Structure 1
Amino acid sequence: MRYTAEHKEETRRRVVEAAGAIAKKQGFGTTGVDGLMGAAGLKGSSFYHHFSTKGELLKDIIEHEIEGSRNLLMGRMDGSKAELVRQVRSYMSIKHLENAESGCVLPRLSSEVARADDSTKQAYEDAISKMQEDMGMIIGGDTAWAVIALSVGALVLAGGMSSKATQKDLLKACYEFTAQAVNSAEPDLS
């Protein structure tokens, strides 16, 4: 049975979304094609009807997830430092840490991108650069890079801790440092 181009595109989008959620929770490299496709209610044998390689799926997940995070962040932003600080607080939270499948892709899959091909790394860089540019209009480009790195790094480190108390302490310290940096930063006016 032949499917329409629209059906194939919708199925591919569904796979990217479902595989992204499972990859953020369980890891991309450790989840097989059957698991990634199964998350979308499909059989693993249909994988190559939609993607030429598993790396192509990773690239699509990265692009989709970072753009979604950027749209979510900027959609909530009113252009103020106070709102950015509120968003950072929400990001550096136990709730975000414990709900990986619905959270940001960066803490969960950045190490996998580091081992990916150049086209995936470029897609990752391009997507994060857009987020940094958006933030840079509020707090300056250098501070925006630091906020992104500290936010992601805080979740990565907290995710490796077994003690809830240590996780909370780490996230709180990183948030407070970031809030201070945001509040003292100047936007790029050029």
Structure 2
Amino acid sequence: MRYDKGHKDETRRHILDVASAQFRENGIAAVGLAGIMSEAGLTNGAFYTHFASKEELVREVLADALARREARHKANIENGTAIEATIRDYLSTRHRDRTGAGCPTAALVAEIARHPKPTRQAFTGKIADIVGLMAEQIRHGTPEERRRKAIAIYSTMVGALQLARAVSDRQLSDEILDIAVGTAIAIANES
């Protein structure tokens, strides 16, 4: 069967999107290739036309999802969006409740720490880029001070989102988000 030009790229993109949502929703270890391919409407054998291994898929998903997050940060800078708005958006109940479409860092960071070095290196590069973009949004301090603030803010945001998702008490979850917003904004505004 002949496919239209671009079909292979579209199929690869579809597999990436399905895997990305499943990894964020359920965790990398809990998601099998058969489940990804089934949801994508493809056979298991078709996977190897696009990826050499599940680990390659994980790296590609991380690179893609973090590149999308990076693009949002760039758009925020271009639009003059203050860091406070970025913090509030990230630490929102909407983001907390949409794990499968949310930040891959908050959803997967604990698992990434256990993956092979090439996967962790790909993750590290994208996180460094995001920290750099967040530092650009901070108004006060030298470049080094803004970078340190960005690391503290991003760490606060990711950790708070993970905690808010993990607790079973909705009121406590909301409180975690609210307090983290205030803390992250205070760090950003320190002179």
Greater displacement, 4-13 / 120-129: 4-13
CA contact (8 A) 2:73 2:134 kept: no
With over 3 angstroms needed to count, the CA separation of the structure-2 counterparts of 1:79 and 1:129, relative to structure 1, is: farther
Secondary structure of 2:82's counterpart equals helix
**In the TM superposition, what is the alpha-carbon distance from 1:45 to its structure 2 partner?**
2.9
CA distance in 2, matches of 1:95, 1:29: 25
State how many pairs are aligned: 184
Q: Does 2:15 match 1:12?
A: no
Contact 1:107/1:153 (<8 A) preserved: yes
Give the CA deviation at 1:171.
0.8
Q: Distance in 2 between matches of 1:99 and 1:180?
A: 26
**Aligned equivalent of 2:149:** 143
Q: Does 1:171 find its partner at 2:177?
A: yes
Report deviation, 1:4. Answer: 7.6
Structure 1 counterpart of 2:74, one-letter code: M
Distance in 1 (alpha carbons) for counterparts of 2:182 and 2:172: 15
Query: Which residue number in structure 2 is paired with residue 97 of structure 1?
Result: 96
Residue 188 of structure 1: aligned partner? none
Task: Name the residue aligned to 1:120.
Answer: 119
Query: Aligned runs of 1:7-156 on 2, under 5 Å?
Result: 7-78=7-78, 83-139=82-138, 140-156=146-162
Q: Deviations over 1:162-181 (max 9, x none)?
A: 00000011111111000111
User: Bigger CA drift: 141-150 or 32-41?
Assistant: 32-41
* Structure 2 segments unaligned to the other structure (5+ residues): 139-145
1:95 Cα deviation after fit: 1.2
C-alpha separation between the residues in 1 aligned to 2:122 and 2:11?
22
Structure 1 runs of 4+ aligned residues shifted over 6 Å read none
Q: Is the 8 A contact 2:82 2:137 kept in 1?
A: no
Structure 1 residues not aligned, in runs of 5+? 186-190
What TM-score does the superposition give when structure 1 sets the normalisation length? Answer: 0.89
- Does structure 2 conserve the Cα–Cα contact (< 8 Å) formed by 1:85 and 1:179? yes
Report the identity percentage.
28
RMSD: 1.9
| CA 4–125 in structure 1, closer or farther in 2 if over 3 Å, else same | farther
Structure 1, 40-49 or 173-182: larger mean CA deviation? 40-49
TM-score normalised by the chain length of structure 2: 0.88
